[in-house]
Structure 1
Amino acid sequence: MTADASLLIVEDEPKIARLMADYLQTHGFGTTTLDDGNAVMPWLEEQQPALILLDLMLPGQDGLSLCRSIRQRYPQTAIIMVTAKVEEVDRLLGLELGADDYICKPFSPREVVARVKAVLRRSQAAQSATLAVDDPNAPVQLNEDGWQAIAGGQDLGLTAVEFQLLRVMMRAPGRIFSREQLMDHMYRDNRIVSERTVDSHVKKLRKKISEVLPERDIIRSVYGVGYKYQPDE
């Protein structure tokens, strides 16, 4: 999902908005430009862009509050924040707001195009993975809103960490995750934990699954490497 994707540029500096629009259009993207934060949510009620380039400082509703509102109402829409305030970067990418990426002013048009393409690729991959997780024929179904894993019609009663582990592996069936990679997904606060902690959580997760699906071994260990989700018999 790159060329022909529809993009929304929210930028109140006309020269910057025109520069981004012109350069993105030459690379095959369709663009719309808005210069007032108050116009964004009404526009989104009528349109569905693949990605929004959202300036931090805007007249009307500011970029931070807009990012939060967009995430709540349109969670599948990718967002790249555009800012001259480097000290805001951690907030822009944090769980509080959930921006997919950021661009700091001043920037080069090539950087904008490269970041847009990269975010769209990730967004498309994530949406495909979500479809795989929601497969009704999978041995385990995930209710991500309720943080539940259902197997054989039963709630497995997973902890938050166990649910995170299962979700990460289910989004990439057959992929082997190292313990370090799994730790990164388990603990977003960068706490220091040992690889044995990962092994302990995986052991508990496998036990809960086997109690409901005794003949299925869907979480498999790969000696010396890590773990993978393998739903096939």
Structure 2
Amino acid sequence: MDKKVLIVEDENSIRGFLKINFRRNDFTVIEASSGEEGFRKAMLENPHIAVLDVMLPGKDGFTLCKELRDRFPDMGIIMLTARNQDMDRIMGLEQGADDYLSKPFNPIELMLRVKAIIRRIESKDVFKDKEVVERNGFKLDLYSQKLYKGDKEIYITPKEYLLFKLFIESPGKAFTRDELLNIIWGYEYFGDPKIVDVNIRRLRTKIEEDPSEPKYIQTIWGTGYRWNNEEDI
């Protein structure tokens, strides 16, 4: 399966330049122009490598780096900055970055550093993507985006698929309604926040034996939802 790289850079010209170089090296490229968008796409796409600009609108690169490192311990993270200052480099590494490059940089050097990080990831045997995620009797096919319970397919909408994928890949993790809204619908969504509850309720009717007494997607009263981490339910 293709290697995935997340590029979070607000300058279109630099982001386009990076995209071309990564695609030439057989990467699937995920783009974002802000820290908020970058985190949301990381949660949905699970990239192997993230290339983060330090100076981003809204959430800066250092904050995003820390959030990604907390959520994805094995992700390779490289920081980019236009400021050639030791303090930036130190701060980036302290937040969990694997490496650091100052602009302007040589694309060959960037790819060499990326490949070095990939070798580290491969040596830990965590680089291989799973085409099928299995938990509690469910099978989620990431290629076809189909959900099965046992051998029976459960028909779900694209948003229900994203919700289910997020839950099943993060068992036991509590998500607030705002987090789910931002991750699945995006920070630019300004509709009714109750859309989260509506989609959870609809998803429960499809996967739970008794939607009124859910055992898979649990409600955390006053907060949000989480996937039951017990394997034998």
TM-score range, shorter chain: 0.5 to 0.7
Write the letter of the residue equivalent to 1:148: K
Q: Classify the secondary structure of the residue corresponding to 2:189.
A: coil
Deviation at 1:196, TM superposition (A): 1.6
Q: Classify the secondary structure of the residue corresponding to 1:227.
A: strand
What residue ranges of structure 1 are gaps of 5+ in the alignment? 1-47, 88-92, 94-98
What residue ranges of structure 2 are gaps of 5+ in the alignment? 8-12, 30-45, 58-63, 65-75, 99-117
Q: Give yes or no for contact 2:168–2:227 (8 Å, CA) kept in 1.
A: yes
Q: Does 1:71 align with 2:27?
A: yes
Q: Does 1:219 align with 2:217?
A: yes
Partner of 2:194: 196
Write the letter of the residue equivalent to 1:78: I
Decide which moves more: 102-111 or 218-227.
102-111
Q: TM-score, normalised by structure 2?
A: 0.53
Q: Please give the residue correspondences for 1:7-156 in structure 2 after superposition, counting only pairs within 5 Å.
A: 62-69=17-24, 70-72=26-28, 77-80=48-51, 102-112=79-89, 114-115=91-92, 118-119=96-97, 134=132, 136=134, 138-156=136-154
Q: TM-score, normalised by structure 1?
A: 0.53
Per-residue Cα deviation, 1:116-163 (whole angstroms, up to 9, x for no partner): 66355xx98xx69x76x9554532221112112211112211111001
User: Counterparts of 2:48 and 2:163 in 1: how far apart (Å)?
Assistant: 25
Q: Classify the secondary structure of the residue corresponding to 2:136.
A: coil
Q: Give yes or no for contact 1:141–1:149 (8 Å, CA) kept in 2.
A: yes
Flag the 1:173–1:104 CA change in 2: closer, same or farther, 3 A: same
Write the letter of the residue equivalent to 2:81: C
Decide which moves more: 180-189 or 107-116.
107-116
Write the letter of the residue equivalent to 1:80: V
Q: Classify the secondary structure of the residue corresponding to 2:80.
A: strand
Partner of 1:228: 226
Q: What's the RMSD between the two structures over aligned residues? A: 4.6
Q: Classify the secondary structure of the residue corresponding to 1:80.
A: strand
Flag the 1:63–1:157 CA change in 2: closer, same or farther, 3 A: same
Q: Give yes or no for contact 1:81–1:101 (8 Å, CA) kept in 2.
A: yes
Aligned length in residues: 164
Q: Give yes or no for contact 2:163–2:184 (8 Å, CA) kept in 1.
A: yes
Q: Give yes or no for contact 2:139–2:150 (8 Å, CA) kept in 1.
A: no
Flag the 1:113–1:76 CA change in 2: closer, same or farther, 3 A: farther
Partner of 1:160: 158
Q: Give yes or no for contact 1:151–1:213 (8 Å, CA) kept in 2.
A: no
Which of the two has higher C-alpha Rg?
1
Q: Give yes or no for contact 1:175–1:228 (8 Å, CA) kept in 2.
A: yes
User: Counterparts of 1:178 and 1:135 in 2: how far apart (Å)?
Assistant: 23
Flag the 1:101–1:158 CA change in 2: closer, same or farther, 3 A: farther
